[in-house]
Amino acid sequence: MDKTAETQELLFIEFYRDVRYNEKIKSGVNRMIETIVSVQLPIKEELKIKKNRLTPDEMTGRERRICIVSGLYGDELGGQYICGEVIRRIKANYDMLKGIVDVYPTINSLGLDSRSREIPMFDLDYNTIFPGSADGDLAEYTAAKLIEDIDGADFCIDVHSSNVFLKELPQIRVNDDVSEETLELCKSLNMDLIWIHPSTMVNEGSLAYALNEIGVPTIVTESGTAFRIKYNYCEQVIDGIFCLMKKLGIWEGETVTPREAVVVNDEEITYLNCETSGLFVTHKHLYQRVEQGDLIGVITKPIFGSVEEEIKAPVSGILITLREHPGVSEGTLVARILGSQEEK
């Protein structure tokens, strides 16, 4: 064989390998979409919870596994975007994947389809029924199957947006019985805030509680608001997920340098609730530094063209929560400030 023919053959072999490699990635990812639970519904409909499992080309049997869960609430769309972008980024640099990534974008698909936060047929908060029951109703059964599928993972992230009423800066929420190891991993997630809640106030029906109880370290992220995708917040969360995966040995690609999160407990957060009903008109924005006495916003009465109440900062600090939906009634939460009375 002459040099030209040999070179052409080598080029063809290399091209063929590239094509097969790309096909393997594309078809492999698609083949790994699994239905973890399927339930027949009335009117010939079917409820399915699916996951996309992404694995390295060559498995050793020693890979660590992370689970990324979203969509427990049908109105939290930010998690959909986050899950999709995590999958897209992995596919774009597939050779950097060294562990197993299970992505569950939509748990409450009925809520998503009906634009409802709860499970619509039952008007039930999905995040209150875990660990569920294999012999229970539709919600309990699907909850049990989800727990069963995630069991054994090395880490789980339950991705949330806030509700339709509030806007939150990117943060992690854990209980005060969180292990030091998990807390250290939280610091690699590129968040602005790690909020530690008293374990006495924990929702024992939540996915995070149920998974932590069976030994799967699980944390909850909150950012943005419901029914909206805050792309800058989502990108921050996505970057953090890849930082965490790198720390766990699941990802070898490039990552950002994680932000240094502020670790706080309940005593360091001040809640601002209004005393009148009307429209909340804000004068501030998230992340903004406020001083004691600063005007956060006002409650107006449109029928009178009047300002009924001024909401002023009782402490100095950073705005970490702000009312997004302007309609308020007496006692409504309109803001949270990272800063407490004790710091005055």
| Tally of CA atoms within 13 A in the half-sphere of 104 that contains its CB | 29
Whole-angstrom Cα distance, residue 326 to residue 332?
A: 11
Angle subtended at Cα 239 by Cα 234 and Cα 245, rounded to the nearest 5 degrees: 125
Give the per-residue pLDDT at 4.
52
Give the per-residue pLDDT at 242.
98
Domains 31-260 and 266-343 share a fold: no
| Tally of CA atoms within 13 A in the half-sphere of 292 that contains its CB | 10
Give the per-residue pLDDT at 94.
95
Residue 213 pLDDT exceeds 70: yes
Instruction: Collect all residues with Cβ–Cβ distance below 8 Å to 306 and sequence separation of at least 6.
Output: 300
Residue 61 pLDDT exceeds 80: yes
pLDDT tens per residue, range 22-43:
444 444 443 489 999 988 887 7
Give the per-residue pLDDT at 44.
73
Secondary structure class of 220 (helix, strand, coil): strand
Give the pairing type, strands 289-290 and 317-323.
antiparallel
Largest CA distance in the chain: 93
Angle between helices 78-92 and 3-31 (to 10 degrees): 160
Whole-angstrom Cα distance, residue 31 to residue 158?
A: 24
Cβ atoms 94, 28 nearer than 8 A: no
Residue 9 pLDDT exceeds 50: no
- Give buried/exposed letters for 220-244 (b at 16+ CB in 10 A, else e): bbbbbbbbbbbeebbbbbbbbbbbb
Secondary structure class of 288 (helix, strand, coil): coil
Give the per-residue pLDDT at 41.
80
Residue 338 pLDDT exceeds 90: yes
Cβ atoms 204, 127 nearer than 8 A: no
CATH number, domain 266-343, options 3.30.1780.10, 2.30.30.190, 2.40.50.100, 3.40.50.300: 2.40.50.100
Domain limits, the chain: 31-260, 266-343
Q: Taking the mean position of all CA atoms in its chain, how far away is CA 160?
A: 4
Fold classification of 31-260 is Aminopeptidase (3.40.630)
Give the per-residue pLDDT at 2.
55
Give the per-residue pLDDT at 122.
78
